[in-house]
Amino acid sequence: MRVRHPLIRLAPLFRASRGLLLIGVVGLVAGTALMIAGPWIVAQAIDVDLAQGDRPGLVRKALLYLVLLSAQIAVTYGSRITLEIAAQKAMLQLKEELFDHLVEHDLALHDRHPSGKLITRVQGDTEALRILFVEVILSAPADLLLFLGMFTVMWFTAPEVAWLTFSVIPPYIVLFAIFRKVAPPRFLAVRKVKAQLTGFLTEHLRAMPTLQAFDREAWANERSEELNETVFRAEAISHLHPVWYFNTVVLIRALGIVLLLWVGAGLVAAGSITVGVLVMGLGYLRQMFNPLFRLSHQLASLERARAAAIRIAELLDTPRTIADPEQPEAWPGLVDAVRLEQVGFHYTEGTPVLTDLSLAIPAGSHVGIVGATGAGKSTVLNLLLRFRDPTAGKVTVDGVDLRDIALADLRSRTGLVLQDVHLFAGTVRENLGGGDDAVIAAALATVGVEMPLDHVLLDGAANLSRGERQLLTFARALVRDPELLVLDEATSAVDPRTEARVQAALEKLQEGRTTVTVAHRLATVRGCDRIYVLGRGGIVEQGTHGQLLAAGGLYAALHELQHGEVAA
């Protein structure tokens, strides 16, 4: 899909609600027709029934007017509800598509866009589109009919005053063109600074424990006040435009009424038109400004929605670089080895993280990857699970490039435990991926967790200790019975007693299973079959714990440093 016409491209969202849309638009059109009939009935009551002293006829006209007014209110109300339902269904589908797109997209997208801004796309931008569809686009046929109907009635009834009634349209068009040119940049500026404020609040409210721990509340408050002040100034300026525009529209309407009364009174005195026709013209003039006032109020919504549609279209059009191949190869089974073959990788062009890296992870072995911060350890982890693709070389399983294997096939056979613990509000069963209760219970028992599967975790598992949360993420990886187990500082957040329990469980789990441990603490990898030490974008040392210590290189220096810190 193309970003050129972002609103048109969203039209398929309403395909499933075509019937509701038709009913809603027809209802608005019918309500508009009844609205047009009202002033005509008043004119007839004045010119015929009142002029002839026909009291019963006047009562009948009054009752007919009341019936038409009630019908117009009921029909318009029903059509609004119908259109709102259709719009809500369309926006629900759009939110689901956006969320699915974000969930399935590359990590690079989430690196570029903070979670606060993405939340604004899914929630705030879709709401702006809903308002646009209901209040502007879907109401346009009724508003157009209102103008055409009033003009037709006035032209055939009293062409002498038809031009007076609609003489206000040209100055209004000029006014609207000016407003349309100067106001949208202000509205877009408000939208931009509000998105920045939303992103700031989302990120920093989630990091409140860190802010409090480092006594940074004052800094956060100061930054929040700056952003709020920026939003205040932008909104204050943007709201001034609708004020002068709205008041000018009121002035145009007042001048139109004065002109119509002045010229119309002379025509009534001359006998060219009747009093009823003049009253009808005044009624149509007032009705004519209802959609004009509404449009003036909705221009900000229109601009917000247009900008929202562009942002949503751009987000949906952002291509995935990590995707399934057109004809994926079957998972070969981890029998030989996982290999990184002359791999290069960079996050930013011109700043390589890995250069010509080659290493092998034999099936059934336990391999450790260590190195200083920034050496590329986590990057290797990302490549193994294909969260990222190498910019040079390839990663293979038994000779098959990971890019040729379906993502679900790869990741369903890989268990991952991260240093950062991510658990969700819900039951233990839901956090461990659901499925067979016996399998889940066995995974919990393996890591030594005694917890009911229906035990409810609070948001972020705040009702558990850090060690318990880490153990649950370990059990979550084991539920899948992975062929490849990837551990990223898996025991760094647990106390020594819990770490010993986890290490004991790991020894059983690693039998017949290929394990990769990414670690800063060398004690975590000392029992590995082979340890790779990363530095300068590649492997600087490799061997067992004993061999690397005996070599007296970087690994030995890191070991001495850590041992010295512990001893101190």
567 pLDDT band, cuts 50/70/90, is very low
In this structure, are 211 and 300 located in the same domain? Answer: yes
Each residue of 69-96: pLDDT tens digit?
A: 899 889 888 888 888 888 888 888 888 8
In this structure, are 361 and 479 located in the same domain? Answer: yes
Residue 385 has pLDDT above 60, yes or no: yes
Position 297 scores a pLDDT of 64
Position 5 scores a pLDDT of 60
Span 497-518, average pLDDT: 73
Rounded to whole angstroms, what are the CA distances from 173 to 75, 110, 135, 181, 182?
30, 44, 20, 12, 14
In this structure, are 310 and 395 located in the same domain? Answer: no
User: Are 414 and 488 contacting, i.e. CB atoms less than 8 angstroms apart?
Assistant: no
In this structure, are 200 and 297 located in the same domain? Answer: yes
Span 231-236, average pLDDT: 83
User: If you ran DSSP here, which 8-state letter would residue 16 be given?
Assistant: G
Position 295 scores a pLDDT of 67
504 pLDDT band, cuts 50/70/90, is low
In this structure, are 313 and 358 located in the same domain? Answer: no
Position 369 scores a pLDDT of 93
323 pLDDT band, cuts 50/70/90, is confident
Report yes or no on 14 lying in a domain: yes
Percent of the chain predicted with pLDDT > 90: 10
CATH number assigned to the domain comprising residue 517: 3.40.50.300
Q: Which residue has the higher pLDDT, 452 or 137?
A: 452
Span 484-495, average pLDDT: 73
Each residue of 94-111: pLDDT tens digit?
A: 888 888 877 777 776 766
Residue 296 has pLDDT above 70, yes or no: no
- Last residue of one domain, picked from the residues 289, 317, 345: 317
Report yes or no on 114 lying in a domain: yes
Position 477 scores a pLDDT of 81
Number of compact structural domains in the chain? 2
In this structure, are 54 and 126 located in the same domain? Answer: yes
Span 331-354, average pLDDT: 88
- Last residue of one domain, picked from the residues 284, 317, 350: 317
Report yes or no on 216 lying in a domain: yes
State residue 417 phi and psi, 5-degree precision: -125, 120
Position 495 scores a pLDDT of 63
In this structure, are 273 and 379 located in the same domain? Answer: no
Q: Which residue has the higher pLDDT, 14 or 340?
A: 340
Residue 362 has pLDDT above 60, yes or no: yes
Q: Which domain holds residue 344?
A: 337-567
Each residue of 553-563: pLDDT tens digit?
A: 889 988 888 76
Which residue from 405, 544, 403 is spatially nearest to 483, judged by alpha carbons?
A: 405
Position 442 scores a pLDDT of 81
490 pLDDT band, cuts 50/70/90, is low
Position 502 scores a pLDDT of 66
Chain centroid to CA 367: 39
Residue 68 has pLDDT above 80, yes or no: yes
In this structure, are 239 and 301 located in the same domain? Answer: yes
User: Are 23 and 67 contacting, i.e. CB atoms less than 8 angstroms apart?
Assistant: no
Position 401 scores a pLDDT of 92
Report yes or no on 419 lying in a domain: yes
Residue at 483: amino acid letter: E
Q: What share of residues in the chain are helix, strand, coil (percent, to 5)? A: 65, 10, 20
Whole-angstrom Cα distance, residue 527 to residue 507? 10
In this structure, are 115 and 245 located in the same domain? Answer: yes
Residue 351 has pLDDT above 70, yes or no: yes
Report yes or no on 322 lying in a domain: no
Position 2 scores a pLDDT of 42
460 pLDDT band, cuts 50/70/90, is low
Report yes or no on 325 lying in a domain: no
Q: Which residue has the higher pLDDT, 46 or 142?
A: 46
Each residue of 184-224: pLDDT tens digit?
A: 677 777 777 887 787 788 778 777 877 787 778 888 888 88
In this structure, are 62 and 138 located in the same domain? Answer: yes
Position 403 scores a pLDDT of 92
Q: Which residue has the higher pLDDT, 42 or 146?
A: 42
Whole-angstrom Cα distance, residue 157 to residue 274? 10
Position 339 scores a pLDDT of 93
Report yes or no on 65 lying in a domain: yes
Q: Measure the CA angle with vertex 551, ends 547 and 554; round to 5°.
A: 105
Q: What is the DSSP string of 30-76?
A: HHHHHHHHHHHHHHHIIIIIIHHT-HHHHHHHHHHHHHHHHHHHHHH
In this structure, are 147 and 239 located in the same domain? Answer: yes
Q: Which residue has the higher pLDDT, 105 or 50?
A: 50
Report yes or no on 327 lying in a domain: no
CATH number assigned to the domain comprising residue 199: 1.20.1560.10
Range of 59-73, 89-103, 148-162, 268-282 with top mean pLDDT = 59-73
In this structure, are 393 and 249 located in the same domain? Answer: no
